[in-house]
Homo-oligomer: A and B are copies of this chain.
């Protein structure tokens, strides 16, 4: 199984599908091609939320504002999943999440050598791709097909990832010395409140924060102050009247600012990156 994630809209993802299907009979699953354009941070967030619900798969991720520059291409083994995409940080939060969820064997199987680490990052090298502007088609899709055909485990050993001749964009795979990481800011949780920020706004307008939902454990059915205004805390949108604001915990487990049948970002006047201060009464 290979999943596809990009900010390409239409029709560029189809060229990636064609290239994948030249190299593999794997099931292809579109995650989204409507990710916020060139917004590495938001996509990193969504991938971390969504991918753990998938069975083991190769995840092709192309949100790549640096396409054609000297930024590297990466293949990452994360537990029993693999990820292929640009070295701009988009892969690492989801890779850590997938690796952490993989139960490590108590004792390495005989002969497996040092292969127990759940996270391996390799650079995909390539020479002279057909374009400088569409590495999703010319570099990443061939690499993802090669990784799928070799098996995720092969991403722990460069020698196992020799590409087929047709994947000329992939000249080889070698361990990376360094790569671009991306970490989301930690919230500050105290006895009388919590401070964080809006990480993303979803298509419904719900503003997802980095504050863990557990801070609301004692306030279900009550109210808290959000950036100085009193707002009620409810389990779900339909618990308030249409158009009313609420504080809830979203499907990601974080505090979410929402409006029933409306847009939370507009109701709270808030956007990704904006600070959120919760004060408990």
Contacts and interface: CB of A to CB of B under 8 A. Distances in A.
With most chain B CB atoms within 10 A of its CB, the pick from A13, A30, A250 is A30
Interface of A: 1, 3, 5, 8-15, 17-19, 21-22, 28-35, 37-38, 46, 49-55, 65-69, 71, 130-134, 137-138, 202-204, 235-239, 248-251, 253, 256, 261
A258 B238 CA distance: 36
Nearest to A38: B261
B239 A68 contact: yes
A67 B202 contact: no
Contacts of A12: 50, 202-203, 251
Nearest to A11: B32
Specify which of A21, A66, A249 lies most central, judged by the most chain B CB atoms within 10 Å of its CB: A21
A176 to B, nearest CB: 20
Given A138-B251, A239-B69, A29 B17 contact: yes
Nearest to A213: B131
Contacts of A250: 131, 133-134
A9 B249 CA distance: 20
A14 B34 contact: no
Contact of A66 (B3, B14, B238): B238
Query: This chain: how many copies in the complex?
Result: 3
A21 B50 CA distance: 13
A130 to B, nearest CB: 8
A251 B14 contact: no
B251 A137 contact: yes
Given A21-B1, A22-B55, A132-B248, A236 B67 contact: yes
Nearest to A34: B10
A67 B251 CA distance: 11
A52 B130 CA distance: 14
A130 B250 CA distance: 10
B236 A18 contact: no
Contacts of A52: 18
- Which 5 pairs of residues, A with B, have the shortest CB-CB distance? A68-B236, A134-B251, A18-B53, A9-B203, A18-B54
A10 B137 contact: no
A1 to B, nearest CB: 7
A32 B12 CA distance: 9
A3 B14 contact: yes
B137 A53 contact: yes
A17 B53 CA distance: 8
14 contacts: A9-B203, A11-B46, A12-B203, A14-B53, A18-B50, A22-B53, A22-B54, A28-B29, A68-B236, A69-B236, A69-B239, A132-B235, A132-B248, A137-B251
